[in-house]
A and B are shown apart, each in its own frame.
Chain A
Amino acid sequence: MKLLRGVYEGPQSYGILRVAASIGGVHTLLRALPGEAYFRALYGTRERTGAMAPVTLSPLREGSGDSMAPGNLARDLSGVVRRHPKAEIVILARSEASLLSEEAIPVTNLPGVEGTGRPLQLVTFPWEEPGMREIEAAELALEDLIRSLMHDRTERSPYPTVNLFGPPIFGPSAAAEYAEAERLLDMIGVEVNARVPLGAIAGDLGRLPRAWANVLLYREVGEYATLYLQDEFGMPRVTTPMIGAAGTGAVLRSVGELCQLDPKSVQRMIWAELAHTAKLPWYARLEPPETFQDRRVAIFGDFTYPLGLGYALAREVGLEITACGTYLTHLQRDFLFHAYTFTEGAFVEDDPDQVASRIETAKPDLIVGTHLEEGVADSLSVPFLPLCPPVTERSFVGRPLMGYTGSSVLADELDNVLRKKSIEPAGEAPIQWTEGALQEVSEVPLFLRGRARRLAEEHARKQGSAEVTREIFLESRH
C-alpha cells in the first residue's frame, strides 16, 4: 500500500483503451463497475473532436444473468457486434474491479453475424491483472493486437517504406508528432506504410511487414510490438528518440541506411532542414553563453520525452541537467542506462511527493515535467514547461516536440522561460531558522515546502526579524 497525492499512470484497462481507441475499426467492450467507466467522458474532453468513444460498458453487477439489462457478457458482446457494423476487431478489456472480483470470463469467440461474412475478430488479454499499469498494458496490448492479425505473409513494398510506432491517443499533440516524422521521412524519399497505433485502421496492422523498417517514436508503447516484428519478420528498428536536431538527424540517417538511400542526399536534406526549419541549434548559437551558464534543469516524465529532451537540453543547448527521472518503474534499467549519459541525477520514482523532493534537492532553475510537477515549480518559483505526458494542456493546433519542427517549438519554449533571469533578492542577509520552525516546516507536505519556506522568510523580513521562529512560521501560514 502506498499513500499518494497523485498518480502518473492509469490502470491497465486505461492503457488498453488508449491503444484500442487509437486504431480505427476497433471497438472495446469494457467489463467494469459503472463507477469505473470514465473513459468515455475523458475521451470527449481530451480529444475534442466530437466523436463518440469506441468503447461500450458491460456493467459488472450481481444477478445480471436473468434480467435483460446490460451486464450479461455474451449478450453485451453480440450487442457490440450488432451496433458497430464497421468494427473489425472487438477487444474485451477488464477493469481492476472486474479482475479483483475473480469472475470467470466464459466467452471465447464472437457470436456470428448472420449473413454478413465480414471478418470479425475478438481479442482478449489473458495477462491482465489488477495492479498492472497503463503503459505496460498498452505495450502488451499493442503487441497482442498485431500478433492476432498476422494471418498471411505480405510482400515487402517495392519502394522504401517504414512503420511509425508513436504515442497513442491522449498523448500531447500525438498526431502532430506522427505528422512531423512523416513529413521528414517523405523528404528523404521514404514512405510511411502505417502509423501505429494512432491513425492506423485495423487492416493496416496486418500489413505491417510490408515496410522495410520500424521507426520507434514512442518506445513506451511500441517496444514489444517492434521486437516481435523484428524476431518474426526480421524487420530492423530505429529506436533513437526523434527529439532535438541531433536526435532527429540520427534517426533520419539510420532510416536512410536501412532503406539503402544515398547518404549524401539524406545529408543534403538534413542540411536544408537545419537551415530552414530546425531553430534549436540556431537559438543555441544566437543566445550569449551567459543565458545558459549555471542554469540547472530538472526533467521528469515518461521515457522518450525526458530522455530526448534531456539529451537535447544538455548537448544541444548546454544546460546542466541536475535531475532526470521517470515514473515508469518497469523501464528502470533502460532509463537509467540512457539518462546517465547526460546527467548524474537519474532516478525512477512514481510517488509525486518523492519526485517533488528529488527535484527540490536538485535546485533547478527550470523544471520540465508532467502536469503534476507544476506545483513543485510553483513552490520553488522557477519556470515550468509541461512537455512530458501526462499533461492537461490541450491545444487545438498540434505542436510537435519531435523532429525539426519540434526542435523549433522547444527553442521557443526555452526562449520564453530563460529570457527572464530570476532576480535574486540582492543585498539581503540570509535568514536563519530556529529549531522549532524547522520542525514545523518538516510537517508541511513535501511539494508545498519550498513555498512555505519562501513565505515564512518574506514574513520574517516584513517583521524585521533576522530569523524565522516557530511563531513567525505559523503566522505566515495563515
Chain B
Amino acid sequence: MTILNESGIPDVLPPLHAVNDLAQRLPDVLIVVAGTQAEAHLIQCLTSAPSPNLPPFRRNQRVIFALLDPENPPQQGLLASRIVEIAAGNRGTELVLLVAGRAAESLGIDAAFEARLVARKLDLPAEVVNPDAPHEVPGILSTDLEDRVLAALVNLCPKRKTSDLVETASPAKRGGLFGSLLRRGAETPDSNGGRPVVLLGGTLSPGADRRLAAELSRTGVEVVGSVPGSGIAKLPPLGEGTVVAVMDPNLSSAATVAERRGATVVKTLMPVGVDGTARFVQDVAEEAGSRISEVVRARSVWEDLGVLRNRIRGKRIFFTGDTGLEIPLARFLADAGAVVLEVGAPRLDRRFLAAELQALGPDVDVVVSPDYRGQTNRIDESRPDVVISSPGLHLPLVARGHLCRSPRDFITAGLYGYGGSRRILELLVRTMERAENLDSLNL
C-alpha cells in the first residue's frame, strides 16, 4: 500500500447535507440549524445523497433553520427562546441539536450558551454540533456531520452505575496512541462474565447494528445497545468498563468522546467484508472478555461467496468516494480478488485507521486529498470496470462512459457483517451485469 498526498481539491459533498437523513433516522430529535442562507439552502437542496436523480422534496418538521441576519445578529438568548417555542409545538422531542458552524460563530452566536439555556428551559438535553470545527487531520468527509452528531449522542449516554464500576475494576483510559498495540496480552479478560459492548455507527444502514449485535451475541458477548440505536431514551450506558465497537471509519470524533468517558474503544478492522467482520467480532469479543476464533466461520463465508467472487475477480475498481467507507470497502474487494486501482480519501486519519491501512493489500494506492480533475484524468487513462464515485463526479464520469456506483448505495444496502459482504458483491455484480445487458443492445 502506498499513500500519496495530492493536495488537491477533493470532490466532497458538504457534510451538512446529512441533516435530513439524520432527522429521519433520529425521529425524536429536533435539529435547529443556525446559520446563513447558504447553509439552509444547501440542506434543502441536497435532501439526501444526490445520486443521479434529484431527491423528492420532503420538508421535515424536525429540521428548523434559524436564518441569521448578518446586519442584525440576534441578542444573546433570543435564539434559545425561539427554539423553546418551536420545541413546545413538537411532541415527543427528546433532544435538541443545535447545528452552528463558522458563520454563526462569526456573527457572535454563543451556541454553547444558547444550548444550555434551551436545556434548562425545556428540561431536555440540548447539544451543540459544529460542522466546521477542525478535525485533527485536515480535510472534510461528507459523513462528518454524522460523526459529530454521534459524538453528541455518546455524550448523552448515561454513565454506568457506580456498582457496575466497582465490579469491573476499570482498565483505565488506555485508548491513546499505541493503545491497541500495547494492550494486547497485557490485559486479562474479565473473570466475572465479561464487559458490556456498545456498537457505535451504522447510522444510515437500517438494521445493521441489530445484525451485528446478533453476530456478537453468538460469541457470548453482551451487547447492551448501540448508538444511535432506536431512540434517545434507549441510549445504552457508556463509560468506564464499556467496550465500544466502532462500525464506521469516519467516526473518529465520536470514538474520541467515548474514550474520554473512559470506555475502551476497540482498535480493529471495520465490520465490512468477511475478514473485516471476522477480525471485528474476534477483537471485540476478546476485549469484552471472551476468546473465540472466527477463522472457521470466515472460511465458510468465503466459500459461500465463491460464485460471486468469480464474477468480481480481476475486475478493476477505482474509488473516488467521499464517505470514508471506501477504505474498508476497497480492502474487502481487493481480498475478494478485484484489482483496486486507487482509493481517494479526502481525509485520512492514519492513527484511527491504522488497522485498516495495515490490512489494505500491497497493491492498493491511497490518494489523500485527491484533486477531482486529476482523478478524472486517471480514470480516463486506466478505464476501470467500475468507479465508486462521489456525487460531484458521478454524472460527468457516467457521461464519459464509465460505470459508476455511489458509495452511499453500499451504505443503504447494508454493507456490514458477513451478510453485508454478500450484499456488496451482489450489488457490484448486478451493476456490471446490467451494464453488459445495456451495452449488448444495438441502438
Please report A residues at the B interface, Cβ cutoff 8 Å.
Answer: 1-7, 9-11, 13-14, 33-38, 40-42, 44-53, 56-57, 59, 61, 67-70, 83, 95-97, 99-101, 129-131, 133-134, 352, 371-372, 374-375, 392-394, 443-445, 447-448, 477
Contacts and interface: CB of A to CB of B under 8 A. Distances in A.
B67 A1 contact: yes
A10 B41 contact: yes
Interface stretch (B44-52, B206-214, B259-267): B44-52
A38 B14 contact: yes
Residue picked from B42, B63, B86, most chain A C-beta under 10 Å: B42
24 contacts: A1-B67, A1-B79, A3-B83, A4-B65, A6-B40, A7-B40, A9-B37, A11-B36, A13-B38, A34-B140, A35-B131, A41-B11, A41-B50, A44-B391, A44-B396, A45-B50, A45-B51, A52-B396, A59-B9, A70-B9, A100-B36, A131-B37, A131-B70, A394-B54
B191 interface: no
Contact of A41 (B78, B102, B391): B391
Nearest to A393: B54
B9 A7 contact: no
A447 B61 CA distance: 10
A24 to B, nearest CB: 17
Contacts of B218: none
A444 B50 contact: no
B89 A443 contact: yes
Contact of A3 (B64, B101, B106): B64
Interface residues of B, number: 72
Contacts of B36: 11, 96-97, 100, 130-131
B70 A100 contact: yes
Contacts of B399: 49-51
B157 to A, nearest CB: 27
B67 A4 contact: yes
B78 A392 contact: no
A38 B15 contact: no
B111 to A, nearest CB: 13
Contacts of B63: 5
Contacts of B71: 131
Contact of B55 (A9, A36, A392): A392
Interface string B69-92: 111111000110011001011010
A5 B46 CA distance: 15
Given A97-B102, A130-B70, 8 more contacts: A11-B38, A14-B41, A34-B140, A38-B45, A83-B373, A97-B106, A100-B107, A392-B54
B132 A33 contact: yes
Question: What are the 9 tightest A-B residue pairs by CB atom distance, in nearest-first order?
Answer: A50-B399, A44-B395, A11-B38, A130-B70, A10-B41, A96-B36, A1-B74, A40-B392, A11-B37
Contacts of A46: 54
B12 to A, nearest CB: 7
Contacts of B69: 1-2, 131
Contacts of B83: 3
Contact of A38 (B13, B53, B72, B89): B13
B114 to A, nearest CB: 11
A51 B45 contact: no
Contacts of A69: 7, 369
A394 to B, nearest CB: 6
Contacts of A101: 102, 106
Contacts of B55: 392
Contact of A36 (B38, B61, B88, B89): B38
B17 interface: yes
A59 to B, nearest CB: 7
B44 A41 contact: no
